Amino acid sequence: MNFKKKLSDILFLDIETVPQKENWEKLSSKEKELFSQKTQYQRKDEITPEDFYERAGIWAEFGKIICISVGFFTGLEENKKFRVKSFFGDDEHKILSEFKELLASHFSKNQHVLCAHNGKEFDFPFIARRMIIHQIVLPKKLNLFGKKPWEVPHLDTLELWKFGDYKHYTSLKLLTHVLGVPSPKDDIDGSEVAKVYYQENNIERIVTYCEKDTIAVAQILLKMNNEKLLEDKNIIKV
């Protein structure tokens, strides 16, 4: 692709989200009404809002973030390392605040950009909306008001793969397969995260899954730029 951006200027990330309430019964009557209205165009006629509630985590109005995993490159070509860090737990305000602090301290300069797969449609706006709900002032990298498209400091591996074909969608799982990148989907997938969180209470399993997705996004960008993939020995969890 002849990609010119310095790898060390990119913060790769992935988020995991779940419904704010464990099940439909825990919603207030007003919340049930609003969720029904919000999802009426996504649901088929025979699917009730209650049956559809398991997908509530994909909407910032009804979901919450339980993990943000980030990764960044350090070192020169032959000594290139990829460091991975996660912010996770039950306290979403804490997760978002710690992520914002990382942006402020290490990724706030003009040359810095955020990168995720389908990040422009999901991860970045979801984080921004949840920050506003928690009354956290948006960091510069997420405050897009008044910016022109070429001024937005975001990369999206899905968008890069589209090559201008805006009707095209390719999942992270499919893209890693066709590019020969180690699959991050060797344990759970996104549809199982809420169950693992609420029923199994296994946040560590979710963190591992989120970190694998973050690593996969970085590997995809390397592959797109005809660079060598990362080896396990070069991936460091911090």
Q: 118 with 160: CB under 8 angstroms? A: no
Give percent of the chain above pLDDT 90: 82
pLDDT score of 31: 97
Interatomic CA distance for residues 54 and 75, integer angstroms: 42
| Helical pair 123-133 and 92-106, crossing angle rounded to 10 deg | 110
Name every residue whose Cβ is closer than 8 Å to that of residue 211 and which is 6 or more positions away in sequence: 14, 69, 71, 84, 86, 237
Helices (H), 58-202: 92-106, 123-133, 157-162, 172-179, 193-198
* 164 torsion bin: left (phi>0), alpha (psi -120 to 50), beta (else): left
pLDDT digits (tens, 9 = 90+) for 155-181: 999 999 999 898 889 999 999 999 999
Predicted model pTM = 0.94
pLDDT digits (tens, 9 = 90+) for 207-222: 999 999 999 999 999 9
In the chain, the DSSP E strands lie at 10-19, 63-74, 81-88, 113-116, 154-156, 235-237
Interatomic CA distance for residues 201 and 162, integer angstroms: 37
Question: Would the pLDDT of 86 be above 90?
Answer: yes
Q: 220 with 178: CB under 8 angstroms? A: no
Residue with tokens 């002849």: 2
